[in-house]
Amino acid sequence: MTDWRATGIGFLTIVVLSVFGVVAPGLGQLTAGLIGGFVAGYLAGGGLGSGFWHGLLAGSLGGIIAGVILTLVVAVAGFALGPAGAAISSVVGAGIFLVAVVLAVVMALESAVAGALGAAINP
């Protein structure tokens, strides 16, 4: 059974650290995914499988939100640049979607592994 509290706290950890990861190049979003997945798995407990699942959920939500934010930033930039910007952002749209999907998968997998580790540490 899914502990949505643990998943939500892990997700919020990913979001907060991702914001700081944009400013601090050494951290980045991958570190945020690892720490958020660890937090979700640790709070959920229940063994490796449970930690893996909760870390996966937290990372997936974080990756989806990061993809949506990336899409919005490109859309606003395209709108701000007028017709030429709209044409450029239309062409780049497929690439943005691909980057968002890859980002979501990578964040989900790394968070899942960190979640399993967090659950293994929780007594």
b/e map of 17-52 (b: 16 or more CB within 10 Å)? bbeebeeeeeeebebbbbbbbbbbbbbbbeeeebbb
b/e map of 91-107 (b: 16 or more CB within 10 Å)? eeeeebeebbeebbeeb
Q: Which two tokens stand for residue 48?
A: 């490796």
Confidence of residue 26 (pLDDT cuts 50, 70, 90): low
Confidence of residue 25 (pLDDT cuts 50, 70, 90): low
Task: State residue 103's pLDDT score.
Answer: 78
Cβ 106 vs Cβ 57: under 8 Å: no
Residue 5 has pLDDT above 70, yes or no: yes
Structure confidence by residue, pLDDT tens digits, 46-80:
899 999 999 999 998 887 887 777 777 777 777 77
* 53 burial type by CB count under 10 A (0-12 exposed, 13-18 middle, 19+ buried): buried
- Which position has the higher pLDDT, 90 or 105? 105
Task: State residue 44's pLDDT score.
Answer: 94
